[in-house]
Structures are given as C-alpha cells and as structure tokens.
Amino acid sequence: MSVSHFHPHDPLALKPEDCGRGHACQFCPQEPECRLDKGHHEKRVLESRLEQIGQIIMVMANKGGVGKSTVSANLAAGLAARGYRVGVADADIHGPNQSRFFGFVGERVRINQQGLSTLAFTHPALQQPIRVGSLAFMMETDDTPIVWRDAYKHDFMHHLIGSFDWGPLDFLVIDMPPGTGNELITLSDLLEGHDVAALLATTPQEVALMDSLKAIRFCQERGMPLLGVVENMAGVTCPHCGGEFHLFPRAHLAEALDQAGVSSLTQIPLSPALASGSDRGQPIVLAEPDSIEARAFMPAVQACIDQARDSFAAAAAHSLQSLHQGQQGTADIEAALAAVPAEQRDALRAELSSLLGQARPDDSGNQH
C-alpha cells in the first residue's frame, strides 16, 4: 500500500501542531484521545519554561539532614529580599520539605491551561512573592511515603521544571535530593545548555565531608560551576553565657576544601531560632533579617547574584561576538555608530571593541 492510500486526515497520525498547554500530557484530561505528538509537546513545555528562567542554582548535599532544604529556603528568601524574582523547586522527592519551610503544609496545586500552579509565599519585605513548586502539593496526604521507580523519578524531574507554571524568574533554586544518583544526573541532563550553578551544603563532620567530596567531583566532571560550600551547623552560641563553641572540629573540612579547590562561602551556626523559623514556615532571613543566622546566609546569596551577573555578561559578550562575526552585524554596528555624534563615536567604538574582545575598524576602515 502506498502512502497515498492513507487518508490525509488519518485520526491516528501524529499531528505536528502543539496544543499550547503548559503542562505534561500526564496531567491532561484529553490525553487518552489526543493524537498530537506528545514527545514534541513535552520538549516544548520544558524549553518554553527554561527560556523564562535566568540563573538556576542547584543546592546539593551528599547526605540527608545536613540542612540542604534550610539553605535552599533561606537562599531563596535572601535573593527575593534583594528584589529578584525567585522560585524554589523542591526536587527532594524522598523528603520534600519546602512546603513546610514556606508554610504550605496541606496545600494542593491546581492545574490550568498554563500548567500546575506554584504557591506564592508573600512577606512584607518582598516586592514579589517567592514561587514554590513541590511534589508535596500533588500527594494525597503529607505523610504518604513515596516509593519511586527510576522511570518515574525521571518524569518527576521533568514535570517539576516543565509542568509547574514558574513564570519569568531571575533565579530558580532547586532543592536537590541528597546524593549524586539518578536524580542529579537526570536533572543535570535536562538543564544542559542553561545557566546552572551548584552550591553545596555540608556539616563539618567527617562523614558528611567525605560524601560532599563526591558532589564536588560530580560538578567538576560535568563542568558545572560550583559556587562554594555552605557549612551548616558550624558552631553554637550558648544561650546562657553567649560564648561560642564548635560541636565538630572544622580543621579537616577546611583542608579538604582547599585541596579540592572549592571555597567555603559561609558558616551557619547551629541555632534553635533557625530550626523554629523553618518549622513555622518563616525563613529566618525574612523573619529576623538582622540576626547572626540571617546575616550568615548573605555571602551565599551574594555568590548567586555574582554568578548570575557573570552568566549574563558572558551571554551578552557571546551575542556581540556573533554579531561581530557576521558581515551584516558589522554593517549594522557601523550604521548605528554613524548615527552617534562624531565626538562620541570613538569612545563608543572603543567600548564595543573591549566588549567584543577584538579590534574593530575605525572610520577610515583601519584596524586598531
């Protein structure tokens, strides 16, 4: 039978057009009868989401319980307090905590044409709410244990980034599951080609440290920028005398980080106020912004902002470079320069040259 025997409107044929929905087919009421190309749709949903997200920060730890979720929540709060549009994606599929840390226990997501709704955490210090997306919002009860097969883990990572309606964001902070297993590899693959950097949470104990070195090696092998380490539970202030002491010796950690070429960004003390703020759904960075604990998060917040600026500058330089390499681009730049008053032209040309990192022709066509 030749191809021409098929009716042009064969109901089983995959149609190239997309339905325009902002979520995966799995959540769609029309999925059973849909004949559109589902693979194409899933890819498009993920790409259109990522296009609207600036810098992605993966908060990693190789061990549970070291404070990775606490760091993620306070990092997000610190970035939002600086006026950035921030989302928090809870990818810790075995113990999703962000719903608790932002006061959303028991809340559930809604689905509409744009995708799964994120929950908006508001605070008087924030110009814009923090958008929180978590698997916990999709479960029947908050204490349901989740048993995952690897195939579902892959789907979940895809849905978390693609199906949630994040809107435009400057930062998406991802609270990763502990370890360097499948979830990390899946997510790193999905985010390949986007501005992603990692931040590592650890405690100074040796066992957490040994595990953390695996995560450092993962980043180095993947070529993923590692902003540094947040040392959590590092030091305690006595509530009675105000004296400081360390439960775990730090010297070994400092030496190992040095050898691995990774910097320690900050040390967060072990603090009841920090834990109770998290339990009340109020990150301490917003609840008590002048406290020692809140201030301890600031170097990590600043490292994320610096990384985002560097990524932006690198992307801008790359675009200018591409523009410079194309003949048409050069003509466009020269046409634009011609419109600038003559006395400003040379200065502007010099500025463009330094941004492009290359010599540019002057008015006479000579290179300099």
Interface contacts to ligand ADP, rule CB under 6 A: 61, 64-70, 97, 232-233, 268, 270-271, 274-275, 278
Please report how close the Cβ of residue 278 comes to ligand ADP at its closest, in angstroms: 4
Nearer to ligand ADP by Cβ, of 50 and 88: the residue is 88
Name which of 24 and 58 has its Cβ closer to ligand ADP: 58
Closer to ligand ADP by Cβ: residue 95 or 167: 95
At 95, list the tokens. 């113990």
Q: How far is the CB of 272 from ligand ADP (least distance, A)?
A: 7
Q: How far is the CB of 232 from ligand ADP (least distance, A)?
A: 5
Output 64 or 299, the one with its CB closest to ligand ADP.
64
Residue with Cβ nearer ligand ADP (75 or 308): 75
Question: How far from chain centre, in Å, is Cα 75?
Answer: 11
Question: Cα(215)–Cα(321) distance, rounded to whole angstroms?
Answer: 34
Q: In angstroms, what is the minimal distance from the CB of 100 to ligand ADP?
A: 9
Pick between residue 71 and residue 109 the one whose CB is nearest to ligand ADP. Answer: 71
Q: Strand 111-112 and strand 86-90: pairing?
A: unpaired
Smallest separation, CB 210 to ligand ADP (Å)? 16
Q: Which is nearer to ligand ADP, 160 or 333 (CB)?
A: 160
Q: Which is nearer to ligand ADP, 271 or 311 (CB)?
A: 271
- We find the least distance from the C-beta atom of residue 132 to ligand ADP, in angstroms, to be 15
Give which of 160, 170, 121, 113 is closest to 138, Cα–Cα: 160
- Closest approach, Cβ 20 to ligand ADP, in A, equals 36
For the bound state, the minimum distance from the C-beta of residue 205 to ligand ADP, rounded and expressed in Å, comes to 13
